[in-house]
Amino acid sequence: MQNNTLNEVTVFTVGGTETALAPVRGRAVRLPNALQTALADRYPEPIARLLGEAMIIGALVVQSLKFDGRLVVQCHGTNEGAVSLLMADCTTQGHIRGYARYDEDTLQSILLDNRNPGADALLGGGTFSMTIDQGSDMDLYQGLAAVEGKRLSDCAEHFFKTSDQIPTMMRLAVGQDIEDGGSIWAGGGMMIQRIAEDDARGETGDVYQTATALMSTVTDAELIDPDLPMETLLYRLFNEEGVHVLDTSSVSADCRCSRERLLNTLESFDAAAIADMADADGNIRAKCEFCDVEFVFPVKDVETA
């Protein structure tokens, strides 16, 4: 696993003299090498870029949860797109992982007409969802929205507008940096949301509109650049309105799959089912779709139910 020291989410507010009463809240994330750990060389460039956007959305949004849990960002595509499933799994502890299922032939057909297809083309429409998991003793919460726009940030903004009814602006950037003769995936993102006005806070619309205008000037290079401190970028964008950094937290590309968990699952099957799963060498093979790690279980070591 690579060093993820610089991979972090920054929580901030814009406007107001007191941070508790600020009219705009925001989060920014930069992943100079966590995306490389998660994506590596597993996917074609357009698929990797789209999955990277989903993971950045998850890293941004999960930090708004007030409890220990996880957020799953999913896109289900249609038969007109190359990607049938896109999933980013993010925990409040800052662990992220992602998986994409796609059809290579359909992807090549799309690339013949568009060398840089966006989310709408790669997914062919479909649904965008966010699912909040508060643990085994709590019900899941899921919101849905249609896949719209070239970038997943368009889908996320549409989601917050239609599902949570929170005015939201989001910018995402995913690219490949050249390093030591090779290329590595890196990314960054930023989102701001208008906080509902109340007697203590007052009107919040004007500050939010100004903040969106300022944030629209941020470039992909600024979002990704590991040599540009996030606090410096936030000050560059919002200093006239007043920007306050509240907190930072680390992010890492970590998969939660485990041999023990898979073995426990296998041991819930009867002997006949175990025999059907085994290959000619008498082993059961299981590969994690998130990290590509393969686990091999000799049938003789599996205690059947």
CB 76 within 8 A of CB 85: yes
Instruction: Report how far apart, in Å, the C-alpha atoms of 193 and of each of 103, 150, 209, 225, 233 are.
Output: 36, 21, 10, 24, 18
What CATH number does residue 177 fall under? 3.55.30.10
pLDDT of residue 225: 92
Question: Do 105 and 55 belong to one domain?
Answer: yes
Question: Do 154 and 54 belong to one domain?
Answer: yes
Angle at 191 between CA 232 and CA 29, to 5 degrees: 55
- Residue 252 forms beta bridges with which residues? 95
The count of structural domains within the chain is 2
Could you tell me if residue 69 is inside a domain? Answer: yes
Could you tell me if residue 3 is inside a domain? Answer: no
Which parts of 109-205 are beta strand (E)?
A: 127-133, 141-146, 168-179, 182-194
Question: Do 128 and 265 belong to one domain?
Answer: no
Question: Do 236 and 270 belong to one domain?
Answer: no
Could you tell me if residue 1 is inside a domain? Answer: no
pLDDT of residue 3: 39
Question: Do 142 and 291 belong to one domain?
Answer: no
Per-residue pLDDT of the chain (305 residues; tens, 9 = 90+): 343 347 999 999 998 777 667 899 999 999 988 888 888 888 999 999 999 999 999 999 998 888 888 999 999 999 999 999 999 999 999 999 999 999 999 999 999 999 999 999 999 999 999 999 887 677 778 889 999 889 999 999 999 988 778 899 999 999 987 766 678 899 999 999 998 888 777 788 899 999 999 999 999 999 999 899 999 999 999 999 999 999 999 999 888 877 888 888 888 888 888 888 888 888 888 887 888 788 888 888 887 64
Q: How far apart are CA 134 and CA 141, in angstroms?
A: 9
Question: Do 180 and 284 belong to one domain?
Answer: no
From the number of C-beta atoms within 10 Å of its C-beta (0-12, 13-18, 19+), residue 226 rates as: middle
Question: Do 91 and 232 belong to one domain?
Answer: yes
pLDDT of residue 181: 67
Q: How far apart are CA 115 and CA 33, in angstroms?
A: 25
pLDDT of residue 304: 66
Buried b / exposed e along 88-98 (16+ C-beta atoms within 10 A)? bbbbbebbbbb
Could you tell me if residue 178 is inside a domain? Answer: yes
Question: Do 249 and 263 belong to one domain?
Answer: no
Question: Do 102 and 134 belong to one domain?
Answer: yes
pLDDT of residue 51: 96
pLDDT of residue 56: 96
Could you tell me if residue 2 is inside a domain? Answer: no
pLDDT of residue 272: 85
Q: What is the CA radius of gyration of the chain?
A: 21
Question: Do 57 and 176 belong to one domain?
Answer: yes
Of the three residues 213, 236, 253, the one that is the final residue of a domain is 253
Question: Do 143 and 285 belong to one domain?
Answer: no
Residue with tokens 């059907």: 276
CB 24 within 8 A of CB 210: no
pLDDT of residue 228: 93
What CATH number does residue 291 fall under? 3.90.1280.10
Question: Do 154 and 215 belong to one domain?
Answer: yes
Of the three residues 231, 253, 275, the one that is the final residue of a domain is 253
Q: Which domain holds residue 229?
A: 8-253
Strands 283-287 and 95-102: what pairing?
unpaired
Instruction: Report how far apart, in Å, the C-alpha atoms of 190 and of each of 11, 175, 262, 304 are.
Output: 10, 15, 36, 49
Q: What is the pTM of this model?
A: 0.87
